[in-house]
């Protein structure tokens, strides 16, 4: 059982930051840290992790910025650029060394709700067995203006719609996360005990490490809950599109990495759950099959139809009975026909 949380504990924010000299990155980080300064509960600290930034004055900028804040902010530097997940791992270890037992992730362009610290401390203090809690998100543009959900890209609109589904609470909810939902929480909406973050570090991959790690959190048997009324401001620029998609080589390349990395995280979650005796191997295969159906539909809607069809074919080959039960007639006919042709 994890140690009980008392109201005297602080929430340690872990903020990965990459500085390539573009002014907007620094501007967004200022706004992110300002959102911490506006917390109604001052019991917070932060670890800003420089992810091997190439900007020559990045260290000076971070030192000047953090020295002007009233809260406790520690700047760390990764030895090389390895992605946000590995930067978070450095912050997690530093928080642990300093005795912090509660974490909140926040990316360097997102905004924490003013009531986040108070709500997180209250929720974890009320349940000593709680391991992980997630909040909703509010989509904002580069100017901080909320998006009209109808104007969001299909993948983001799906994420927004799924926030209205019943909240996942309790244990063993990784199965619903796998086959019902694209993602219950972006990193900036995750709050958890440091012990869980140490036990299940972020994967060493540059993209889609968040969902893969979420699968592994939940597959470990973690107890989860939802933090009400404190949506994270998730910044989605109207101009320029997704930075992750650009950096990975475009939509199709991003979605391929997404399928690979998420599946690896889910397979690890399944293996962990089987070892714990939470599910048997057959159930694990059924969950993986249903995940492949869902992710196939998701990436097809996101602009990668051939990749989507390949995920559906893999689902059919993995567990034909489950595929027949959950695929549409058209999906079944195409996948079965492709398998027969080979």
pLDDT at 58 over 80: yes
pLDDT at 233 over 50: yes
Bridge pairing between strands 11-17 and 137-140: unpaired
Question: What CA–CA distance (Å, rounded) separates 186 from 210?
Answer: 7
Q: What is the mean pLDDT of residues 116-135?
A: 98
Confidence of residue 103 (pLDDT cuts 50, 70, 90): very high
Mean pLDDT lowest for which of 7-11, 38-42, 187-191, 299-303?
A: 7-11
CB 123 within 8 A of CB 133: yes
Q: Phi-psi bin for 134: left (phi > 0), alpha (psi -120 to 50), beta?
A: beta
pLDDT at 135 over 90: yes
A 10 A CB-CB count for 230 gives 19
Confidence of residue 71 (pLDDT cuts 50, 70, 90): confident
pLDDT at 263 over 70: yes
Q: Phi-psi bin for 211: left (phi > 0), alpha (psi -120 to 50), beta?
A: alpha
Question: What CA–CA distance (Å, rounded) separates 207 from 255?
Answer: 10
CB 52 within 8 A of CB 132: no
Strand partners, 48: 15, 75
pLDDT in tens, 72-90: 999 999 999 999 999 999 9
Question: What CA–CA distance (Å, rounded) separates 47 from 118?
Answer: 19
Measure Cα distances from 243 to 230, 235, 236 in Å: 25, 11, 9
Two structure tokens written together for 29? 């980080």
Predicted TM-score of the model (pTM): 0.92
Two structure tokens written together for 282? 């057959």
Question: What CA–CA distance (Å, rounded) separates 338 from 317?
Answer: 10
Question: What CA–CA distance (Å, rounded) separates 113 from 137?
Answer: 10
Q: Phi-psi bin for 245: left (phi > 0), alpha (psi -120 to 50), beta?
A: alpha
209-219 helix and 84-97 helix, angle to the nearest 10 degrees = 50
Confidence of residue 182 (pLDDT cuts 50, 70, 90): confident
pLDDT at 227 over 50: yes
Bridge pairing between strands 132-134 and 190-193: antiparallel
Bridge pairing between strands 190-193 and 102-105: antiparallel
Mean pLDDT lowest for which of 10-14, 182-186, 275-279?
A: 182-186
What are the backbone dihedrals phi and psi of residue 74, each rounded to the nearest 5 degrees, phi first?
-110, 130
Question: What CA–CA distance (Å, rounded) separates 111 from 96?
Answer: 24
What are the backbone dihedrals phi and psi of residue 140, each rounded to the nearest 5 degrees, phi first?
-125, 155
A 10 A CB-CB count for 22 gives 11
CA-based nearest residue to 189, from 132, 252, 231: 231
User: H-helix or E-strand containing 79?
Assistant: none
User: Which domains are assigned to the chain?
Assistant: 11-239 (3.90.550.10), 248-341 (no CATH)
Confidence of residue 1 (pLDDT cuts 50, 70, 90): very low
With tokens 């027969």, the residue in question is: 340
Please tell me the chain's helix, strand, coil percentages from 3-state DSSP, rounded to the nearest 5: 50, 15, 35
């Amino acid at each position: 059982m994890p140690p009980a949380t008392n109201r005297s504990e602080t929430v340690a924010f872990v903020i990965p930051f990459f500085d390539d000299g573009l002014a907007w990155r620094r501007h967004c980080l200022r706004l992110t840290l300002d959102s911490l300064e506006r917390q109604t509960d001052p019991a917070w600290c932060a670890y800003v992790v420089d992810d091997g930034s190439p900007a020559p004055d990045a260290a000076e900028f971070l030192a000047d910025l953090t020295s002007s804040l009233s809260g406790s902010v520690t700047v760390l530097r990764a030895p090389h650029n390895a992605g946000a997940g590995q930067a978070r791992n450095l912050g997690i270890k530093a928080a642990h060394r300093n005795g912090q037992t509660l974490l909140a992730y926040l990316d360097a362009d997102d905004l924490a709700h003013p009531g986040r610290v108070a709500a997180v401390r209250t929720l974890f203090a009320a349940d000593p067995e709680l391991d992980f809690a997630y909040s909703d998100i509010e989509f904002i543009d580069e100017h901080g203006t909320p998006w009209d959900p109808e104007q969001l890209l299909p993948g983001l609109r799906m994420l927004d719609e799924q926030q209205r589904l019943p909240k996942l609470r309790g244990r063993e909810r990784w199965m619903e996360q796998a086959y019902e939902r694209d993602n219950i929480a972006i990193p900036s909406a995750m709050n958890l005990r440091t012990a869980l973050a140490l036990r299940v570090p972020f994967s060493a991959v540059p993209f889609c490490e968040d969902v893969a790690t979420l699968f592994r959190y939940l597959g470990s048997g973690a107890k989860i809950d939802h933090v009400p009324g404190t949506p994270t401001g998730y910044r989605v620029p109207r101009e320029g599109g997704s930075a992750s998609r650009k950096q990975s080589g475009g939509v199709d390349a991003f979605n391929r990495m997404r399928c690979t990395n998420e599946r690896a995280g889910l397979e690890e979650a399944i293996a962990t759950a089987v070892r714990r005796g939470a599910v048997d191997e057959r159930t694990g295969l059924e969950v993986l099959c249903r995940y492949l159906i869902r992710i196939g539909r998701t990436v097809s809607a996101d602009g990668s139809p051939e990749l989507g069809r390949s995920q559906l074919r893999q689902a059919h080959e993995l567990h034909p009975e489950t595929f027949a039960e959950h695929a549409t007639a058209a999906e079944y006919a195409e996948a079965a026909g492709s398998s027969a042709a080979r």
